Amino acid sequence: MIKRIKQGLNDGRQEIMKNNKGFTIIEMVIVIVII
């Protein structure tokens, strides 16, 4: 389950990086909070 979530977040991060670099910081914070 955790591995699946991490994979999904990594995929989302790659897509967000293409669109907005600012969003990646928010995603990183969310990932840290989840872990």
Q: Which residue range is the domain that position 18 belongs to?
A: 2-30
Residue 15 belongs to a domain = yes
Residue 17 belongs to a domain = yes
Distance of CA 21 to the CA centre of its chain: 12
Residue 12 belongs to a domain = yes
Provide the pLDDT for residue 21: 61
What is the distance in angstroms between the CA of the first residue and the CA of the last residue of the chain? 12
Residue 35 belongs to a domain = no
Residue 6 belongs to a domain = yes
On whether the CB atoms of residues 24 and 13 are closer than 8 A, the answer is yes
- pLDDT per position as a tens digit, 1-35: 678 878 877 777 777 666 666 566 777 788 788 76
Residue 24 belongs to a domain = yes
Tokens of 12: 């989302």
Q: Domains in the chain: how many in total?
A: 1
Provide the pLDDT for residue 11: 79
Look at the pTM and tell me if it is higher than 0.85: no
